[in-house]
Copies of this chain bind each other. A is one copy, B any other.
Amino acid sequence: MSAATSLRCSDCASTHPLDYLLACPDCGGLLFVEYDLDRIARMPFGSLAGPGIWPYAELLPIPDPAHQVTLGEGSTPLIAVPRLAAAMGLDNLWLKFDGLNPTGTVKDRSAVTAVAAARQFGFDRIGVVSTGNAATAIAAYAARADIRALVLSSATSSRPKVSHVNALTADFMMYRGNYDDLIGAFDRAIDSRVVFDGGASRNPYKQDGKKTLAYEVFEQLGLQAPDYVVYPVGMGELLLASQRGFRELHAAGHADSVPVPVAAQSSIADTIVKALNEGGPRVSISIDYTIAEGVAVGDMGAKGDWVLRDLRDAGGLGAAASDDEVVEWQNRLARLEGIWAGPTGCITLPVLAALVAQGKIARDARVVCTVSETGLKSDLEPPDIPIIEANEAAILDFLQS
């Protein structure tokens, strides 16, 4: 009950059996799962049913229901936001609010297939290195599947993220420094096969879960693709997977078009945006802290080259936003539409606003902006709120103010 046929190399295009492979045996390139287009063409989009992301089981590489796992992820709302759209100069804007996933971020979509794949390939433990959100997602689904999660999370992770991971797994350590400093050593340790790969660099089974965002958007727009989709780009997993999902829908004849991808990065970690806008190759950089913790990646490695290629092939756009701009739009989103998103989640908003202001996206374009993280995972200094006296006159005075 899966249309998956093989692994294909994103570099040399060779195909390989659906084994636990993290790199192309021919050239070392990154792999993705390929599917039978005829079977995709026969899928009844609009009337698929099942728990979590498993309505799309046929489009995921986990054929055996015994390996599947769910906490009710996915089916997140696509919210029309007319007031926010007007503030940006757009007529048609929807937010795909993935902060309503079980651990509060889009990472749950890939944690599901990562943990399910660990079961499928006979592992009883999964490891992850993360700035915080992937850590909670992998730990949650591993607990649900009764396998061990070994979690390395950044020492700069917000308090709610740390408490969250700590509740989920006993095997939890932190690291100082940047994600970039850890991920290389983590990937080499993964090659020893002591744990299944829950990282964002290479595992083709993990990333495929994020394709489901594309399928949901397509169904929620009445079986149509939007003109643009804006994605936060840390390691670029969501952009790669979701755009692959949209391309599958198009190639199989369900969708008339493929949306133009838009990459949103932090101005302190803007390697893709810089290469895209200035031409030339991606150049890794050493980075500082950003409140948009989930996109704090200065060295995306081979995955970065893949993201850049995907964007160029699709005529994609990109822009970077500062922490101040992120906070400005985070608050604007709350006040205008009642949605409380985290910094990583709403870095897409200032980026979209900038591209509209520059005339790169037209007013009448149909735009979906992913908001990938709830605001509840942030650790803000509490504001200084005035205290009221507990009597009727004071309360009435306030209510009339």
Contact = CB atoms under 8 A, between A and B. Distances in A.
B175 A390 contact: yes
A164 interface: yes
A173 interface: yes
Given A72-B76, A159-B380, 6 more contacts: A71-B337, A103-B340, A152-B395, A162-B383, A167-B335, A181-B390
B72 A97 contact: yes
Nearest to A111: B338
Given A168-B338, A339-B71, A388 B173 contact: yes
Contacts of A142: 338
A396 B192 contact: yes
B144 A340 contact: no
Interface centre among A141, A172, A374 (most CB of B within 10 A): A374
Contacts of A172: 385
Q: Is the interface of A mostly helix, strand, loop or mixed?
A: mixed
A75 interface: yes
A140 interface: yes
A152 B398 contact: yes
A189 interface: yes
Interface string A73-93: 001111100010000000000
B160 A387 contact: no
Contact of A334 (B152, B167, B176, B390): B167
Interface residues of A, number: 91
Contacts of A335: 143, 167-170
A164 B396 CA distance: 24
B338 A144 contact: yes
Contacts of A136: 340
Contacts of A182: 390, 395
B173 A104 contact: no
Interface of A: 51-52, 70-72, 75-79, 83, 97, 100-104, 125, 127, 129, 136, 139-146, 150, 152-153, 155, 159-160, 162-164, 166-177, 181-182, 185-186, 188-190, 192, 194-195, 330-331, 334-340, 374-380, 382-383, 385-388, 390-392, 395-396, 398-401
Given A182-B395, A192-B396, A374 B375 contact: no
A189 B392 contact: yes
Contacts of A189: 392, 395-396, 399
Contacts of A401: 150, 171
A83 to B, nearest CB: 7
B338 A392 contact: no
16 contacts: A71-B77, A71-B337, A72-B78, A72-B97, A83-B146, A104-B376, A140-B334, A140-B340, A143-B335, A150-B398, A163-B383, A167-B331, A167-B375, A173-B386, A174-B385, A182-B390
Contacts of A378: 160, 163
A186 B395 contact: yes
Nearest to A162: B382
Nearest to A140: B338
B72 A387 contact: no
Contact of A173 (B160, B339, B385): B385
Contact of A159 (B83, B382, B396): B382
A110 to B, nearest CB: 15
A159 B377 CA distance: 11
Given A181-B390, A387-B175, A143 B331 contact: no
